[in-house]
Structure 1
Amino acid sequence: MLIAPLTASDRADWQPLWDAYLTFYETDLDPAITETTFSRLTTPGSGLHGAIARDASGTAVGLVHWLTHPATWSTSAYCYLEDLFVSADARGAGAGAALIEHVRAWAEHDGASKVYWLTAETNATARRLYDRVAARTGFVHYQIAL
C-alpha cells in the first residue's frame, strides 16, 4: 500500500472515492463544495490536508483528509481526521490502517498532541479497525446545524 499526499493531478482518482464516501454517508453536496474542498486539499497553507492510498498496481483505493486546530486542554494543536474512506473491494487489505497511520505520523511530526475522529455508530466494519488502532473515548457527538 502506497500512501501519498494528495495533489491536483490526483483529481480523477480522488473523485470516485469521494463520491462513494458521500454515498456511504447518504450525503449530497453541491458540486461547488466538492470543488472548493479538493482545491483546499491540494493547496499548501489552506489548513486542509489530504492523502490517497494506492494498491500495488497503482489503483487508488482510499482517501483521508485532516486538519489541525488549537485546543483549550493542550498547548499544542489537535489533529482532526475528518474523512476516511476505503473502497469496498479494497477493505481488509490494510489501506484504512495505513491512512490512519499516515495522519498519525504527520500529526506527530507537526507537533499535535492527539489525532481524533468521529464515525457513525452503525459503521461496524470501520469500527473494528478503529478499536484496534485507537482508544474509544466514550463521548457522544452533538451538533447544531446553522
Structure 2
Amino acid sequence: MTKAKMPVEIRPLTAADRSAWQGLWTAYLEFYGTAVPQEVQDTTFARLMGRDAQDFHARLALVDGRPVGLVHYLFHRHCWRIENVCYLQDLFADPSVRGQGVGCALIEAVYAEADAAGAPNVYWLTQDFNTNARWLYDRVGRLTSFIKYERAPTS
C-alpha cells in the first residue's frame, strides 16, 4: 500500500540547522554502512555555509516544521557542454517519511535550482542495492549506462 503524500517544505540549510543536519547526515552515512571523521563533518558543514556555498548547496526537507530530509548538490563545468551541470551528491529522507514525497520534493527542488542556474543536466549515483530509492529515481530520472570507477588504493 502506498503511503499518502504529505506537505513538504524545502528550504536552504542555515547555520542554525547544524544539529538537525548532523542527525540526518549521520543517518545517511549509517544507511551506507560508513562514517566520516568529525573533522570531515565540520568541514562539510562549513563549506555548505561558507564561500563554497556559491557552488556547493544544501536543502532541508521539513514536515510540520521537523527536518526529515536533506540534499547536497553542486554545479560544475563539463567538457561536453558550455553550461555547468548539476551533481546531486547526497539525498536522504528519514525512514519514518519514506514513500510520502520527501525524496521527490528534494529532487524537484534541485531540478528547479538547476533550471534557475541554467544547468541543463542533473545527475546522481546510487548503489544497486538501494531499491526503494531506485523506485523513485526510475520515476523522476533516466537510468544511464555509465559504470563508476574510482582510484584503487595504493599500498
The reply to whether TM is greater than 0.5 is yes
Q: 2:60 aligns with which of 52, 63, 69?
A: 52
Q: Which sections of structure 2, spanning at least 5 residues, go unmatched?
A: 1-7
After TM superposition, the structure 1 = structure 2 runs for residues 96-115 of structure 1, keeping only pairs within 5 Å, are: 96-115=103-122
Q: 1:84 aligns with which of 91, 104, 107?
A: 91
Q: What TM-score do the two structures reach when normalised by structure 2?
A: 0.90
Give the drift of 1:120.
0.3
Q: Does 1:7 align with 2:4?
A: no
Q: 1:30 aligns with which of 32, 37, 50?
A: 37
Q: Secondary structure at 1:63's aligned position in 2?
A: strand
Q: Write the letter of the residue equivalent to 1:102.
A: A
Distance in 1 of aligned mates of 2:50 and 2:139: 32
Q: Does 1:42 align with 2:49?
A: yes
Q: Write the letter of the residue equivalent to 2:32.
A: Y
Q: Which has the larger radius of gyration?
A: 2
Give the drift of 1:27.
1.2
> Number of paired residues?
145
Q: Write the letter of the residue equivalent to 1:50.
A: A
Give the drift of 1:35.
0.3
Distance in 1 of aligned mates of 2:52 and 2:97: 31
Q: Secondary structure at 1:66's aligned position in 2?
A: strand
Given that 1:74 and 1:113 are in contact with CA atoms closer than 8 Å, whether structure 2 keeps it comes out as: no
Q: Write the letter of the residue equivalent to 1:88.
A: P
Among the aligned pairs, what percent are the same residue? Answer: 48
Q: 2:149 aligns with which of 121, 128, 142?
A: 142
Distance in 2 of aligned mates of 1:63 and 1:28: 17
Q: 2:76 aligns with which of 56, 69, 77?
A: 69
Q: Which sections of structure 1, spanning at least 5 residues, go unmatched?
A: none
Q: What TM-score do the two structures reach when normalised by structure 1?
A: 0.96
Change in 2 beyond 3 A, CA 1:58/1:145? farther
Given that 1:51 and 1:65 are in contact with CA atoms closer than 8 Å, whether structure 2 keeps it comes out as: yes
Distance in 2 of aligned mates of 1:27 and 1:145: 18
Give the drift of 1:15.
0.9
Give the drift of 1:140.
0.9
Q: Which runs of 4+ in 1 moved over 4 A?
A: none
